[in-house]
A = this chain, B = another copy of it.
Amino acid sequence: MSEVSTLGAVKRVLLGRPIPSRLAHHERLTKTTGLAVLSSDPLSSVAYATEEILRTLILAGTSALWLVTPIGAVIATLLVVVALSYRQTIHAYPGGGGAYIVAKENIGVSAGLIAGAALLIDYVLTVAVSVVAGVAALTSAFPFWREHRVAVSLAFVAVIMLGNLRGVRESGKLFAAPTYFFLAAMFTMLVVGAFRVLTGDVRPAPVGDLTGASGALTTFLVLRAFANGCTAMTGVEAISNGVPAFQPPEGKNAATTLTIMAALCVTLFTGTTLLAHAYQILPTEDETVVSQLAREVFGGRGFLYFSVQAGTMLILVLAANTAYQDFPRLASVMARDRFLPRQFMTQGDRLAFSNGIVLLSVFASILIVVFQGDTHSLIPLYMVGVFVSFTLSQAGMCLRWRRQREEGWLGHAWLNGTGAVLTGIVLVVVALTKFAEGAWLIVGLIPLLVLHFHSIKRHYDSVAAQLTLKDWSPEPPRHNTVIVPVSGVHKAVLRALGYARSLSPDVRAVYIETSTAATDEMRLDWDRWGQGIPLVIRHSPYRSLMEPLLDYVEEVDAESPDNFVTVMLPEFVPSRWWHHLLHNQRGLLIKAALLFKPNTVVISVPYHLKP
């Protein structure tokens, strides 16, 4: 018991004291904390979205880099449309309108499951990509850490996991400061950068005057650059999924937060992209684009440069937190619908969905290790899931308006329909241009997950059908024969027999004979100590103790098949773990052999050994 309490104490220190259920409602997000907790994902993606566009365009030479501006403009427009579209979802689903629920209710169960699979994958990738990109911000400022980036990333995942296991409101507090620090640092950079360009301090790069083209500027390349830039849009759905986590009025608070978030996103992404072009930033392996930009804008690695890097790192690592709100919540909703194991519905003693949180951390850590902490390798996997859920969610909303035909439904339907069509087109572009780089993995994984959801549901349905009491009638009391295998007579055996006698008047001891001399001795002992319990002796020609015992159990069962048979094993519980090795573990074998036999139960009666 003392080990249990030690573990408990460690848990208390790491996770805090248990929270009673009646306080559940107090753990809600304000607009300020909600923006920090749920918006860090889309806000932080400006840290890598511009860079991913540039990395693709540079393949066609520096002369292609001017395209970053129009591509950025298209993405910003898309972002506005999707945000407006999701704003409608919040009002229609004040109880939380994730893509899973919207698609399931308005299109069909399979569409819901596809969206669910896409989202779960998306959340895992959000954690992996954000943490890895955050560590890239760190290693841009301090190159020493570059070779340890996998270990540092895993440490960040562990810290975020613990924060979330503590519970949702404390996460909000914990994450608000870095989010606003990031916003302050980025806007300072944008303002100073723009001021220097506008005052002629920095001469913007003229369109197309750089040389060194090494590849053709094909349509495919432009589409790939666009697809990569769409990472800026990931996480827009976080707020609409998280409506119930807001303080009441939930819908209104969530909608306002979403609007603020979209405005900030568009401003940051557009600003960074324009400045990167103006300052002629080229992507490199060792330093991020934002780091180069901050260095150029602030004229070196001073206080303001390090503020931008620190802010970027913090918000990216914390962006992973968005997924820690949504993954466990979606998993619990899908578990309630019986498409995922019911353990995801269990709230820990800090009111967090602990199993979902831990599982998300494990999967993200695996991705970080497999992809060696490299952002650019993870990005191609990222966006298929995101855009599948965007498309299904908005298509679902469009169908919903058409079906319900409330006042003004046509405008709503048009807005969501436009969103669905646009994100659907992006989905096709992303899937095609990034298929070979890793998107195939996600395209293949989603249907596999959907099949698995169905088979989990089938199992639970089958269990429910087997457990139903519809045609059940009370059974008459049944007889129970208790069989105690004995290999000699000592206190542990007599104790097991005493326990057996407290349960049934029909107790039988079974002795397996391997030598007649030992049997004779056993008979004498039994006469003295057996207390009148019948001793059954079975011969074992091959010295196996199992087979004769199992044969005897069969026999007793055959005497009256409706009754219970209980096999009771005396079991030593040593006080030191290695002493287990000094005793036979036959009990486990007997349990395994009888596990599937109906009406038969195996009991271990512990006998506690002193050291």
Give chain A's interface residues, CB within 8 Å of chain B. 1, 4, 18-22, 341-343, 347-349, 456, 459-460, 462-463, 466-469, 472, 474-475, 477-480, 489-492, 494, 498-499, 501-504, 514-515, 529, 531, 541-544, 563-564, 566, 572-574, 579, 581-584, 592-593, 595-596, 598, 601, 603-606, 608-611
Highest count of chain B CB atoms <10 Å: which of A467, A478, A479: A467
Smallest distance from the beta carbon of A348 to chain B beta carbons, Å? 8
In the bound complex, do residue B601 and residue A601 qualify as a contact, i.e. CB atoms below 8 Å apart?
Answer: no
In the bound complex, do residue B514 and residue A494 qualify as a contact, i.e. CB atoms below 8 Å apart?
Answer: no
Contacts of A469 in B (CB 8 A): 489-491, 494, 529
**20 residue pairs bridging A and B, Cβ less than 8 Å apart:** A20-B541, A21-B542, A21-B543, A22-B541, A341-B581, A342-B584, A349-B542, A349-B543, A349-B544, A466-B610, A469-B491, A474-B531, A477-B498, A478-B502, A480-B502, A499-B601, A573-B595, A595-B606, A601-B604, A601-B605
Smallest distance from the beta carbon of A453 to chain B beta carbons, Å? 12
Contacts of A563 in B (CB 8 A): 502
Contacts of A609 in B (CB 8 A): 462-463, 466
In the bound complex, do residue A572 and residue B342 qualify as a contact, i.e. CB atoms below 8 Å apart?
Answer: no
Contacts of A582 in B (CB 8 A): 341-342, 456, 459-460
Highest count of chain B CB atoms <10 Å: which of A479, A544, A605, A606: A606
Give the CA-CA distance A342 to B579 in the complex, in Å.
12
Contacts of A529 in B (CB 8 A): 469, 472
Of B20, B467, B543, B564, the residue contacting A347 (CB under 8 A) is B543
Q: Which residue of B lies closest to A343 (CB)?
A: B584
Q: Given that A463-B609, A504-B503, A582-B341 are contacting pairs, would A18 and B544 also be in contact in the complex, using a CB cutoff of 8 Å?
A: yes
Q: Given that A593-B4, A595-B573 are contacting pairs, would A467 and B480 also be in contact in the complex, using a CB cutoff of 8 Å?
A: no
In the bound complex, do residue A491 and residue B503 qualify as a contact, i.e. CB atoms below 8 Å apart?
Answer: no
In the bound complex, do residue A468 and residue B456 qualify as a contact, i.e. CB atoms below 8 Å apart?
Answer: no
Contacts of A598 in B (CB 8 A): 608
In the bound complex, do residue A606 and residue B610 qualify as a contact, i.e. CB atoms below 8 Å apart?
Answer: no
Smallest distance from the beta carbon of A81 to chain B beta carbons, Å? 40
Of B499, B544, B573, B595, the residue contacting A564 (CB under 8 A) is B499
In the bound complex, do residue A503 and residue B515 qualify as a contact, i.e. CB atoms below 8 Å apart?
Answer: no
Smallest distance from the beta carbon of A67 to chain B beta carbons, Å? 49
In the bound complex, do residue A492 and residue B514 qualify as a contact, i.e. CB atoms below 8 Å apart?
Answer: no
In the bound complex, do residue A603 and residue B603 qualify as a contact, i.e. CB atoms below 8 Å apart?
Answer: yes
In the bound complex, do residue B460 and residue A472 qualify as a contact, i.e. CB atoms below 8 Å apart?
Answer: no
Smallest distance from the beta carbon of A94 to chain B beta carbons, Å? 22
Smallest distance from the beta carbon of A519 to chain B beta carbons, Å? 13
Of B349, B478, B491, B605, the residue contacting A466 (CB under 8 A) is B491
Please give 5 more A-B residue pairs, beta carbons under 8 A apart, in addition to A21-B542, A472-B494.
A349-B542, A459-B574, A460-B582, A469-B494, A601-B606
In the bound complex, do residue A467 and residue B479 qualify as a contact, i.e. CB atoms below 8 Å apart?
Answer: no
3 closest cross-chain pairs (CB), A and B: A467-B490, A18-B542, A480-B502
